[in-house]
Structure 1
Amino acid sequence: MRLSLLLLLLLLPGPPTAPCMEDAAFPHLGESSQPPPRACPPRCSCPRADTVDCDGLDLRVFPDNITRAAQHLSLQNNQLQELPYNELSRLSGLRTLNLHNNLISSEGLPDEAFESLTQLQHIYVAHNKLSVAPQFLPRSLRVVDLAANQMTEIFPLTFGEKPALRSVYLHNNQLSNAGLPPDAFHGSEAVTTLSLSNNQLSYLPPSLPPSLERLHLQNNLISKVPRGALSRQTHLRELYLQHNQLTDSGLDATTFSKLHRLEYLDLSHNHLAAVPAGLPHTLAVLHLGRNRIRQVEAARLHGARGLRYLLLQHNQLGAAGLPTGALRPLRGLHTLHIYGNGLERVPLALPRRLRSLVLPHNRVAMLGARDLTSTPGLAELNLAHNRLVSARVHHRAFRRLRALRSLDLAGNQLTQLPTGLPTSLHTLRLQRNQLRALEPEPLAGLDQLQELSLAHNRLRVGDIGPGTWHELQALQVLDLSHNELSFVPPDLPETLEELRLQSNRISHVGPEAFLSTPNLRALFLRANRLHMTSIAPEAFLGLPHLRVVDTTENLEQVLVQLPPTAPRQPRAWGP
């Protein structure tokens, strides 16, 4: 949003070939013709003939000896309270003026302060003390940043009659609708970005520039979009209306229907009870999280046939909240977020091209044989923190998911590993269940699995069947923390790099504990029952890559003896 002076220097052309007359000195006869160093305000930096950088010097007074040749002046991060007109009027060649983060008030800013800056293109006065906007800004402006002040009012010529104006930032002020004149942008037909977020607007401002591409109105008090308020904004691509007070009656079927280029619409954190009507077919992202939506109707989605990301988390979708086929119009849907609702089953007849289904924190209690057959291309399935029990997960529930890479079943009530898991899995999360045993059959064929979390279960070493780890030839991260293990499980995969065993009942680590895991890099043994000499001196022989050993929070300080041939001393953590 704000360009640093360094970035501006990289983007701007080189210094003029000859200095301005006021800075040039005529050499005496017989002397070198090389000009003397340019004048520069005390403590400031002048890296180029047209650049003066006085950033962060705690200045309380505007510098009085800035060269007339200055085109780029930075006074940000100081203590300035006012701008003297006589000093600014000298700098008629300024193109960039950065006053960000000072103490400038409206009383310290004369009405005519900027009238002589006819070349000014970028002005930054964010994070100051302005109570009203400047009444007159130069016609030449391209970017105006007045964010994070205390402004309650702007004027017709603050932003009006600026044919080159592209970006206006007014967020974090105290603007109400009464403080915005109806002709605020008259004659400024090139504005593409307008930020009015974090103000006190109660309805969508009228007469917005028709050229807008990005409009930020989040964190206001907006309860209504007047009919036709967006009818001219046909170039709009991004519209942010989250954290307002919108209800269904504050929108109608024409609110968004004219936005034929809209790609991103955020209506989250409002009071909507239904999906808005009249959504444009260009829409790619629709965020409706944190509303009061009880049911999704297919008819409301017919227009948004190009939607790829639909976010419905934390609404009031119950058992019938997503009827069969409700999302069928969204043939290209890639990601569906519906966590934090009251769904009792995975929605049926989901779009075939769906790649990511995220529905933790619902009430899903079963997975039938056909529940997931409509989405064969699914790559991510998150069913964490539902009510799944092993007896109600069909052994063929996952059979069609041949592209699934990530499966999250954490926080359910599973007592055994599901069977028929896709061999394409890279990540499997089963933490916070009630697993009491591990057998090799459910893990058979998972030769691509890289991460397996079994934390917070009830596993004991004796309940892990022989050969359980044999198939996991790509496993790199194994989390067995917060179980009931009394020693390190044997025959772990050779590819293992990170092993988490914290918060178990391990009291002894024998010399052969890690013979099968020569690639181990990180080992966590925190909060077990280890004593001072519980770890055999030979335990870490053959682990040349080991870098982290965490043995804190045990009964006593644990001595960690590492092999002398290790190429690099691992980091041993202890009390």
Structure 2
Amino acid sequence: MHFTFQTLLPVLWLLVLCSSWIQGQKNEDSNEFLENSSELLDVESNSLAVPCPKKCTCSPEGIVDCGGFSLKEFPIDIPEMTNHLSLQNNQIEEIFPEELARLFRLETLNLQNNRLTSRGLPEEIFDQLENLNYLYLANNQLTVAPKLLPRSLISADFAANNLTKIYDLTFGQKPNLRSVYLHNNKLEDAGLPESMFNGSDNVEVLIMSSNFLKYVPKNLPRALYKLHLKNNKLEKIPKGAFSELSGLRELYLQNNKLTNEGMDNETFWKLSSLEYLDLSSNNLSHIPAGLPRNIVLLHLEKNAIKSIGADVLTQIKNLEYLLLHNNKLKARGIHQQAFQGLKKLHTVHLYNNQLEKIPSGLPRRVKTLMILHNQISEIGRNDFASTYFLEELNLSYNKITSSQIHREAFRKLRLLKSLDLSGNNLQTLPYGFPKNLQSLKLKVNEISSISKGTLSGMAKLQELYLSNNKLKSSSVYSNAWRDLTSLKTLDMAGNLLTSIPSDLPESLEYLYLQNNKITTVPEDAFASTPNIKGIYLRFNKIAFNAVKESTFHRLKHLQVLDIEGNFEFSDPLKNGSDEDMEEEEEEEEQEVEEN
């Protein structure tokens, strides 16, 4: 008997109505009715709907999502008209050719994060998918790449497998191919054919990081603009390896074994579009010659660079970021003209080197200069005389003493906003700080006093860090904070203070006084700081009855009051004057020195 769609339609409507009634007993929501009935009838197209595999979701546009259901086998009932199929995050170990061959319209196939092996993927399995554009096989257990992939391919992701071999036609003869991801595999030079990209001249992105390559691959596609080869075992860059890559913008070569002997003066010269070059964590003894002029960001940190010549950087006219930290640079090894003409260079990292003084000839337009963790012992009058645009200067953890900072050393730094002198050998607060400073860090020094005039005129200062020094209440000038009308954070933790600093600025929001020797908190201690939000008094010597609740009643913005770790009960033998406490402290210090 022959049934037409017209004869079946009343029956289908009856089924739909019955389904609606049954669902109505469970849920009267009309949206749920539409969801259940849509599996039987596609109202818009007025045709029978295509069945969807169990646990999967299907859309009328041909998108099938079966991801994240711990499937162990490829679903056999995927609609033939599927365009985009997602099977990621399952446990599939093998796929048979006939299961994919029927999906002739497939454009995207996502199989990442399964348990697929090369044995479970026959060589010809993808060959018949003539419309396949995007293939995702990352995070599987493949040991060799498929021999044949469709010519229609645009992007292929084989990252995080165990690949040891690529074939000629895996990625070759693919005129539409744009991106290839092969990072986190076990590829060696012998596993890459010289014709790997023959006929695939339009590849723009090639990621081959974290493999076992000793040489840069040959015959790279000319259209490349992003090439990642970091975390390999590269020892040498063959002559002409990059000579055809005039459009390359990003080159990642960090964490390899490259030496200056493994490259020549023309290795990078023809990379005329290169903007980002990372050569960090290699074995370079000096900066490579012949770097192209358009580099914006140059990573050279974590090498063994000892010197910077007069003309090795000056041709890089677009250079903005120069990262040279963790090398073996000394001030005398940096030529006075090393940075000449670099008008765009605004960020220089020279920390963790062997600088014994401020290098001469610093970039005139530098804004951020990081020279921490060196062996600098003094700052001369003209060390920063030409760096007018400097905004952030970090000189922490050197060997600078107060007497070796010239009083006019910072006179030209009118734009300086942040200065860090922490971890040096300062005994007193230096004079001559720039008036526009917003953040001043002097932590972990031996500062014992704040003298008159050292903080004068600093109306824009918002953060002052003086923790872990030797400040006493009597050694802080009485009007020390008078000019700090914008101060929000004052950190004096880890000193020898016996009382709350007086006349604190009205703008103050956070006061750190933990780990001092404060004994009392007067009722008017915070009368001048109505905007304070946090007071930290942990681990002092405040007696139980030495703090009144009324002290904090007027502080409407107070959010944190930390007074843990103090004495619970007062000891009358220890409730002397501030002068007595100062004498006791001096006696204690003297005993420590004698011992």
Please say if 1:72 is aligned against 2:72: no
Cα distance between partner residues in 1 of 2:6 and 2:258: 66
Residue in structure 2 matched with residue 63 of structure 1 by the alignment: 75
Amino acid corresponding to residue 28 of structure 1 in structure 2: L
Q: Return the match for 1:169 from 177, 181, 206.
A: 181
Residue in structure 2 matched with residue 318 of structure 1 by the alignment: 330
Residue in structure 2 matched with residue 353 of structure 1 by the alignment: 365
Cα distance between partner residues in 2 of 1:26 and 1:407: 86
Matches within 5 A, 1:14-53: 27-29=8-10, 34=43, 38-53=50-65
Please say if 1:193 is aligned against 2:174: no
Residue in structure 1 matched with residue 408 of structure 2 by the alignment: 396
5+ long unaligned stretches in structure 2: 14-40, 571-595
The answer on whether the counterparts of 1:301 and 1:329 sit within 8 Å (CA) in structure 2 is no
Q: Return the match for 1:461 from 457, 473, 484.
A: 473
TM superposition shift of 1:557: 11
Cα distance between partner residues in 2 of 1:290 and 1:374: 28
The answer on whether the counterparts of 1:339 and 1:360 sit within 8 Å (CA) in structure 2 is yes
Cα distance between partner residues in 1 of 2:381 and 2:61: 74
Residue in structure 1 matched with residue 425 of structure 2 by the alignment: 413
TM superposition shift of 1:324: 1.9
| Aligned Cα root-mean-square deviation (Å) | 1.9
Matches within 5 A, 1:324-335: 324-335=336-347
TM superposition shift of 1:215: 0.6
TM superposition shift of 1:538: 1.2
Aligned residues: 535
TM superposition shift of 1:136: 1.2
Cα distance between partner residues in 2 of 1:448 and 1:109: 67
Higher helix share: 2
TM superposition shift of 1:37: 5.5
The answer on whether the counterparts of 2:310 and 2:336 sit within 8 Å (CA) in structure 1 is no
TM superposition shift of 1:341: 0.8
For the pair shown, which has the larger CA radius of gyration, 1 or 2?
2
Amino acid corresponding to residue 270 of structure 2 in structure 1: K
Q: Return the match for 1:481 from 490, 493, 500.
A: 493
Cα distance between partner residues in 2 of 1:48 and 1:426: 59
Residue in structure 2 matched with residue 372 of structure 1 by the alignment: 384
Cα distance between partner residues in 2 of 1:513 and 1:72: 69
**Residues 437 and 36 from structure 1, CA distance in 2 versus in 1: closer, same or farther, beyond 3 angstroms?**
farther
Cα distance between partner residues in 2 of 1:162 and 1:529: 76
The answer on whether the counterparts of 1:49 and 1:69 sit within 8 Å (CA) in structure 2 is no
Cα distance between partner residues in 2 of 1:274 and 1:480: 43
Cα distance between partner residues in 2 of 1:531 and 1:63: 74
5+ long unaligned stretches in structure 1: 1-23, 559-575
Cα distance between partner residues in 2 of 1:26 and 1:322: 91
Residue in structure 2 matched with residue 240 of structure 1 by the alignment: 252
Cα distance between partner residues in 2 of 1:348 and 1:532: 57
User: Once the two structures are superposed, what CA deviation does each residue of 1:365-384 show, in whole Å capped at 9, x if it has no partner?
Assistant: 11111110111111111111
The answer on whether the counterparts of 1:482 and 1:502 sit within 8 Å (CA) in structure 2 is yes
Matches within 5 A, 1:147-186: 147-186=159-198
User: Once the two structures are superposed, what CA deviation does each residue of 1:398-434 show, in whole Å capped at 9, x if it has no partner?
Assistant: 0000111111111111112221111111111110111
Superposition TM-score, scaled by structure 1 size: 0.90
User: Once the two structures are superposed, what CA deviation does each residue of 1:480-515 show, in whole Å capped at 9, x if it has no partner?
Assistant: 111122232122111111222222223433322222
Please say if 1:538 is aligned against 2:519: no
**Residues 86 and 340 from structure 1, CA distance in 2 versus in 1: closer, same or farther, beyond 3 angstroms?**
same
User: Once the two structures are superposed, what CA deviation does each residue of 1:512-564 show, in whole Å capped at 9, x if it has no partner?
Assistant: 22222121222222333345555321122122222223344445599xxxxxx
Residue in structure 2 matched with residue 523 of structure 1 by the alignment: 535
Name the SS for the 2:288 alignment partner: coil
Please say if 1:91 is aligned against 2:72: no
TM superposition shift of 1:250: 0.4
The share of aligned pairs that are identical, in percent, is 46
Residue in structure 2 matched with residue 16 of structure 1 by the alignment: none
Cα distance between partner residues in 2 of 1:183 and 1:210: 13
User: Once the two structures are superposed, what CA deviation does each residue of 1:265-307 show, in whole Å capped at 9, x if it has no partner?
Assistant: 1111111111100011111111111111111002212322321
Cα distance between partner residues in 2 of 1:41 and 1:512: 75
Cα distance between partner residues in 1 of 2:303 and 2:564: 45
Cα distance between partner residues in 1 of 2:539 and 2:365: 45
The answer on whether the counterparts of 1:277 and 1:300 sit within 8 Å (CA) in structure 2 is yes
The answer on whether the counterparts of 1:526 and 1:552 sit within 8 Å (CA) in structure 2 is yes
Please say if 1:381 is aligned against 2:381: no
Superposition TM-score, scaled by structure 2 size: 0.87
The answer on whether the counterparts of 1:504 and 1:528 sit within 8 Å (CA) in structure 2 is yes
Residue in structure 1 matched with residue 502 of structure 2 by the alignment: 490
Name the SS for the 1:320 alignment partner: helix
Q: Return the match for 2:515 from 487, 493, 503.
A: 503
Amino acid corresponding to residue 130 of structure 1 in structure 2: L
**Residues 456 and 47 from structure 1, CA distance in 2 versus in 1: closer, same or farther, beyond 3 angstroms?**
farther
Residue in structure 2 matched with residue 7 of structure 1 by the alignment: none
Please say if 1:210 is aligned against 2:226: no
**Residues 116 and 356 from structure 1, CA distance in 2 versus in 1: closer, same or farther, beyond 3 angstroms?**
same
Cα distance between partner residues in 2 of 1:480 and 1:535: 20
